[in-house]
């Protein structure tokens, strides 16, 4: 299932990216220990063990536009453990950080649940945000995946992911403002971006 505009806590799943199109090349091998690894064609190799990484937060039906989401869905964000521990010590991300967002359809009536929503088995989006300073212009890149076990395709640099994260992210192009346990650390370590601090205080962002 595709969502036309999918915007989630931490990583943009954007209209142009079309997550889950069958355009990955065959899988070679999984990236080890959360460090990013690439295929010869530039794809990001699968991040098969991401559910054992560190959980950052979830959102439900988040949208950065006035239009509400068409499909009820949760997004869950994970980061590789080494990067998490570094963030907790320094308030920012080391090189080779990999963040993953998975989007799952929300269910409501099921088993004994009568109100609210829980997460269903159907994955409807899967993307990664990779910090690799030597490899990418600007130091990071986004990849979208057909599934967690296939390779991820590089999202082109003119996609709105890049400019949105550059302009609005609280720390180092990542949406730490939506990760409650990290936001506290970033405030303590004074690593919040100038753009975020201006917006947070109600001042206009420079150039906007």
> How does strand 98-107 pair with strand 73-79?
antiparallel
Site string for a copy of itself, 160-179 (x = CB under 8 A): ----x---x-x----x-xx-
Per CB under 8 A, does 200 bind a copy of itself? Answer: yes
How many residues are recorded in the chain? 208
66-85: which residues touch a copy of itself (CB under 8 A)?
A: 66-69, 74, 76, 78, 81, 84
Indicate the residue among 41 and 118 with the shorter CB distance to a copy of itself: 118
Indicate the residue among 28 and 89 with the shorter CB distance to a copy of itself: 89
SS3 at position 35: coil
Position among 2, 4, 51, 157 found at the interface with a copy of itself (CB under 8 A): 51
Distance CA 41, CA 23 (A): 12
Check if the beta carbon of residue 34 is closer than 8 Å to that of residue 130: no
Per CB under 8 A, does 33 bind a copy of itself? Answer: no
Buried b (16+ CB within 10 A) or exposed e, 75-88: bbbbbbebbbebbe
Nearest distance in Å: CB 144, a copy of itself = 20
Per CB under 8 A, does 13 bind a copy of itself? Answer: no
């Amino acid at each position: 299932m595709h969502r036309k505009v999918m915007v989630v806590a931490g990583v943009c799943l954007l209209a142009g990216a079309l997550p889950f199109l069958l355009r990955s090349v065959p899988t070679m091998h999984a990236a080890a220990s959360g460090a990013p690894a690439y295929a010869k064609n530039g794809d990001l190799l699968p991040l098969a063990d991401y559910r054992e990484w560190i959980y950052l937060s979830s959102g439900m039906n988040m949208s950065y536009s006035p239009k509400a989401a068409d499909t009820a869905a949760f997004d869950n964000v994970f980061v590789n453990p080494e990067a998490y521990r570094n963030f907790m010590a320094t308030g920012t991300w080391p090189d080779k950080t990999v963040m993953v967002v998975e989007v799952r359809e929300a269910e409501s009536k099921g088993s004994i649940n009568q109100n609210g929503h829980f997460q269903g088995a159907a994955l409807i989006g899967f993307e990664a945000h990779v910090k690799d300073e030597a490899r990418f212009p600007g130091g990071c890149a986004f990849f979208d995946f057909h599934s967690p076990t296939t390779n991820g395709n590089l999202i082109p640099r003119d996609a709105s992911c890049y400019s949105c994260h550059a302009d609005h992210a609280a720390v180092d192009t990542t949406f730490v403002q939506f990760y409650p346990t990290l936001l506290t650390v970033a405030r303590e370590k004074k690593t919040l971006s100038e753009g975020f601090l201006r917006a947070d205080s109600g001042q206009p962002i420079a150039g906007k």
